[in-house]
Amino acid sequence: MSNVLSNEKRGMRELGAEKKVGWNEVTHGVVLHSFEDDAADIALRKAEDRKYSEFSSYTATVASWRVIKPVYNRDICIDCQNCWVWCPDSSIISRDKQILGIDYDHCKGCGVCVEVCPTNPKSLLMFGEALSSDDAIAQWPVKEKKEK
Amino acid sequence: MAITSVKNLKEFSTSNDRFEGAHLLCPGCAHSMIVRELMNCTDDNLVISTNTGCLEVSTAVYPYTSWDTSWIHIGFENAATAAAGAEAMYKARKRKGTLKNPDAPVKFVAFGGDGSTYDIGFQWLSGAVERGHNFTYICLDNENYANTGGQRSSATPIGASTTTAPAGRVSYGEKRNKKDMLAIMAANGASYVAQVAPNKWKNMAQAFQKALSTDGPCYINAMSACTTEWKFDPKDTINISDLATDSLAFPLYEIINGTELNITYRPKNVLPVKDYLAAQGRFKHLFKPENAHVLEEWQKRVDEKWEYLQRREEARV
């Protein structure tokens, strides 16, 4: 999940221009193909089995939008998939009914996943962008006692 | 229709995404939750058209596209027309036998915001529904023109402060009530009409599947909480949606063939509408003593609407 197109290259690729292309120079009626191969059965393929073209936003990143990031703790997770269904940026990676982790290329750090997480303590928490995931997991809170 | 199982969330999670990340919608935007769920709930090929709006400008920023399906954008008002045209051509080519792959199932879907559905694209939508094209129109209802800075639309509810109906010393914000688009579409001849909300994911997925498998025009009004213009924290999108459905500010129901109304979600504990309004910055001014009558008006209208829906459901009309 690397970033194929860096920000400096935006808008240049289609015309092969050296400078950035302005609104008036953009090709009219351009068709952007999301895939490099035949996409007829694309609904049956997982992301890792697809050949995304450089035009698909899958190959781009919005990681720079984030100031806080969700960190995922596998030990507490019950694989309920709440975070998967409500993630607005398709950034929770789920395979075979299991959560594998977070796609930090596409996550914008909104925090919806933390809000919808039902475990106690939560298996997803927001931490500062600069903190490493290992450090974050080391300072994970312990189970809260239920208030009577 | 090849459908994905939505029996439970674990099974649904094995479906494949066809709406990619790194679109430029705001963090916490409900638009992408709704769109992604629609595309995940079927394996059929989709032909999607989109009106101008947040969704369109954020998912097709040249040179990127977030769509893994055929996707077209023409103008502000004509997603319904584009879907109708594509559907008509598909039918004609099928009849003439000129389709490359005639057996592949194809569904036609149009997305519009509430501005382009309730106001600007109203006539075009009405025309496409009247002609009876086999397509599904989904309105992402965030109750204002969020893409251009939060102007009022005819989906804006009473009392909301918007940039063109601001609350202040003299005014309490929007004075007119929200247009009942579902009733209009049902009366317009839509085969299936439903109101859905992203927090009730199963309810929403079932409505999408029903609409996609229904022959004829279908209209779905999807509540899309707008973190920017409703003024709440991005992380609270689902919490706000919960408040909206549980306070019955957004009752979830469906109308089949214009004559059969079913309530699809009944909250166990109905919350006062105040709770929903208090969570959003756009209704902040309603809690001043001089605006108490607007809060009463809100509650009264919500109660009346719920009573009306229940009576209709009971009478099977």
Contact call for residues B54 and B29 (beta carbons, < 8 A): yes
- Domain limits at A107? 63-138
**Contacts of A113 by beta carbon, 8 Å cutoff, 6+ apart:** A70, A82, A83, A86, A87, A92, A102, A124
Please report residues of B whose CB lies closer than 8 A to that of A110.
27-28, 227, 234-235, 237
Q: Are residues A11 and A37 in the same domain?
A: yes
Q: Are residues A82 and A128 in the same domain?
A: yes
State ipTM: 0.92
Q: Are residues A69 and A122 in the same domain?
A: yes
Q: Are residues A54 and A83 in the same domain?
A: no
Planar angle of CA B40, B241, B201, nearest 5 degrees:
25
Planar angle of CA A109, A122, A112, nearest 5 degrees:
30
Last residue of a domain, one of A25, A43, A60: A60
Q: Sorting pLDDT into bands at 50, 70 and 90, what band is B7?
A: confident
Q: Sorting pLDDT into bands at 50, 70 and 90, what band is A13?
A: very low
Q: Are residues A21 and A37 in the same domain?
A: yes
Last residue of a domain, one of A45, A60, A75: A60
Q: Which of A86, A102, A105 to mutate to test the interface with B (most CBs of B within 10 A)?
A: A86
- Which residue does chain A place closest to B225, by CA atoms? A88
Which of B25, B59, B68 has its CB closest to that of A88? Answer: B25
Mean pLDDT of chain B: 95
How confident is the model at residue A14, as a pLDDT?
A: 46
pLDDT in tens, B231-280: 999 999 999 999 999 999 999 999 999 999 999 999 999 999 999 999 99
Annotated domain spans of chain B: 9-314
Q: Are residues A14 and A42 in the same domain?
A: yes
Is the pLDDT at A143 greater than 90? The verdict is: no
Chain A, 7-36: which have a CB under 8 Å from a chain B CB? Answer: 10-11, 13-14, 26, 30, 32, 34-35
Q: Quick check: is A143 in a domain?
A: no
Q: Quick check: is A97 in a domain?
A: yes
How confident is the model at residue A6, as a pLDDT?
A: 42
Look at B14 and A79 and tell me if their CB atoms are within 8 Å. Answer: no
Please report residues of A whose CB lies closer than 8 A to that of B198.
86
How confident is the model at residue A20, as a pLDDT?
A: 64
Please report residues of B whose CB lies closer than 8 A to that of A56.
20, 64-66, 68
How confident is the model at residue A18, as a pLDDT?
A: 56
pLDDT in tens, B159-176: 999 999 999 999 999 999
A79 to chain B, any CB pair closer than 8 A? The answer is: yes
Contact call for residues B265 and B196 (beta carbons, < 8 A): no
Q: How far is A115 from chain B (nearest CA, A)?
A: 7
Interchain CB contacts (distance < 8 Å): A and B: 151
Q: A28 or B166, which is more confident?
A: B166
Q: A33 or B211, which is more confident?
A: B211
Q: A4 or B121, which is more confident?
A: B121
**Distance separating alpha carbons of residues B74 and A127, to the nearest angstrom:** 42
**B9-314 to CATH, choices 3.30.460.10, 3.60.20.10, 3.30.70.330, 3.40.50.970:** 3.40.50.970
Is the pLDDT at A12 greater than 50? The verdict is: no
Which of A61, A86, A103 has its CB closest to that of B238? Answer: A86
pLDDT in tens, B10-69: 999 999 999 999 999 999 999 999 999 999 999 999 999 999 999 999 999 888 999 999
Q: φ and ψ at A31, to 5 degrees? A: -105, 125
Number of separate domains in chain A: 2
Q: Sorting pLDDT into bands at 50, 70 and 90, what band is A4?
A: very low
Count of beta carbons in the 10 Å neighbourhood of residue A130: 8
Which of B18, B27, B29 has its CB closest to that of A42? Answer: B18
Q: Quick check: is A67 in a domain?
A: yes
A43 to chain B, any CB pair closer than 8 A? The answer is: yes
**Which CATH number is A115's domain given?**
3.30.70.20
Q: Are residues A77 and A35 in the same domain?
A: no
Look at A34 and B104 and tell me if their CB atoms are within 8 Å. Answer: no
Q: Sorting pLDDT into bands at 50, 70 and 90, what band is A21?
A: low
Q: How far is B232 from chain A (nearest CA, A)?
A: 12
Please write down the HEC assignment for all residues of B209-225.
HHHHHCCCCEEEEEECC
- Which residue does chain A place closest to B198, by CA atoms? A86
Which of B21, B42, B64 has its CB closest to that of A89? Answer: B21
Look at A88 and B17 and tell me if their CB atoms are within 8 Å. Answer: no
Q: Sorting pLDDT into bands at 50, 70 and 90, what band is A11?
A: very low
Candidate from A4-18, A97-111, B178-192 with smallest mean pLDDT: A4-18
- Which residue does chain A place closest to B106, by CA atoms? A40
Contact call for residues A73 and A124 (beta carbons, < 8 A): yes
Q: Are residues A24 and A67 in the same domain?
A: no
Contact call for residues B113 and B54 (beta carbons, < 8 A): yes
- Smallest CA-to-CA distance from B129 within B145, B146, B114, B110 is with B110
Give mean pLDDT, residues A138-142: 92
Q: Quick check: is A14 in a domain?
A: yes
Q: Are residues A67 and A100 in the same domain?
A: yes
